[in-house]
Amino acid sequence: MFGGPAAACRQGGGGRLIGTTTKVAGTGHKVACGPASRPSGVRARPTFAPMKPAPTLSAPRNFFQDVHEVVRLIPAGRVSTYGAVAHYLGARHGARTVGYAMLAAHAVRPPVPAHRVVNHLGHLTGRLHFATPFAMQLALEAEGVRVEEDRVLDFGQRFWDPAAELG
């Protein structure tokens, strides 16, 4: 549609009462429509819904800190995935960001058991970011997790879903 907000009011019924709105086609914006006696050339002012107030938090949260807290809750002998941790924290498509948080976990205290986080197929995709290429596998095997060819063998049984376990 061409013509802007004033044209939307004319096509949507220019004789509407003041305070009513109509959508401008193709934009998703709503505009206020006034009486049909509006002088020509005067455009209606768009009205927008008020913004939600920013949440008041006692202290700002850091996504990496939240990831580290969740990963610390993974029990020994169990594994979770980057995507499951991201989904639990409300970042449905944030698996890669969880991976970045695992990269930063080596310098965090208390320690973060980053070896317990694998990809969605159970592969040890983060293994090259440990001190040695086999450190992740050795840490998992020390907890009783069987790993073969860089993959958790009984992944379905060992999988720990934070959404199911933590609610």
> What is the model's pLDDT at position 15?
47
Shared domain for 161 and 83, answered yes or no, is yes
Q: Does one domain contain both 96 and 152?
A: yes
Backbone angles phi, psi at 23, to 5 degrees: -85, 140
Are 72 and 110 found together in one domain? Answer: yes
Residue 12 has pLDDT above 60, yes or no: no
What pLDDT shows up at residue 3? 53
Shared-domain flag, residues 118 and 146: yes
Pair 83, 43 in one domain: no
8-17, 42-51, 58-67, 68-77 — which one is most confidently predicted on average?
A: 68-77
Per-residue pLDDT at 64 exceeds 90: yes
pTM: 0.64
Rounded Cα distance between 89 and 8, Å, is: 42
Asked whether residue 92 falls in the same domain as residue 14, the answer is no
- List, for residues 103-134, the tens digit of each pLDDT value: 999 888 999 999 999 999 999 999 999 999 99
Instruction: Indicate if 117 and 151 belong to the same structural domain.
Output: yes
Residue 55 lies in a domain: no
Shared-domain flag, residues 84 and 145: yes
Percent of the chain with pLDDT over 90: 59
Q: What's the domain range around 159? A: 63-166
Question: 149 and 70: one domain?
Answer: yes
Residues 77 and 158 in one domain: yes
Residue 52, pLDDT > 80, answer no
CATH number, domain of 131, equals: 1.10.10.10
| pLDDT bucket at 51, cuts 50 / 70 / 90 | low
Residue 167 has a pLDDT of 81
- SS3 for 8-77 is HHHHCCCCCCCCEEEECCCCCCEEEECCCCCCCCCCCCECCCCCCCCCCCCCCCCHHHHHHHHHHCCCCC
Does residue 34 sit in the same domain as residue 101?
no
What's the confidence (pLDDT) of residue 45?
Answer: 60
Whole-number mean pLDDT of the chain? Answer: 81
Q: From CA 138, how far away is CA 97, in angstroms rounded? A: 25
